[in-house]
Amino acid sequence: MVKLTTNRGTALKKALGVFGHGLSPEAQIAQEQRLQLAGPTTVLVTKRGTATMLVKDIPVVSQPSLQGQKITTNRGTSTITL
pTM assigned to the model: 0.39
Query: Burial, 9: exposed, middle or buried (Cβ in 10 Å; 0-12, 13-18, 19+)?
Result: exposed
The predicted structure's pLDDT at residue 80: 93
The predicted structure's pLDDT at residue 49: 80
**pLDDT tier at 1 (50, 70, 90 boundaries)?**
low
The predicted structure's pLDDT at residue 61: 77
Enclosing domain of residue 48: 2-81
CA 37/CA 16 separation, integer angstroms? 8
pLDDT in tens, 11-66: 887 766 555 556 677 887 888 888 888 888 888 888 888 888 888 888 877 778 88
Contact assessment for residue 80 and residue 70, using Cβ atoms and an 8 Å cutoff: yes
Tell me how crowded residue 71 is: count the other CB atoms within 10 A of its CB: 10
Number of domains in the chain: 1
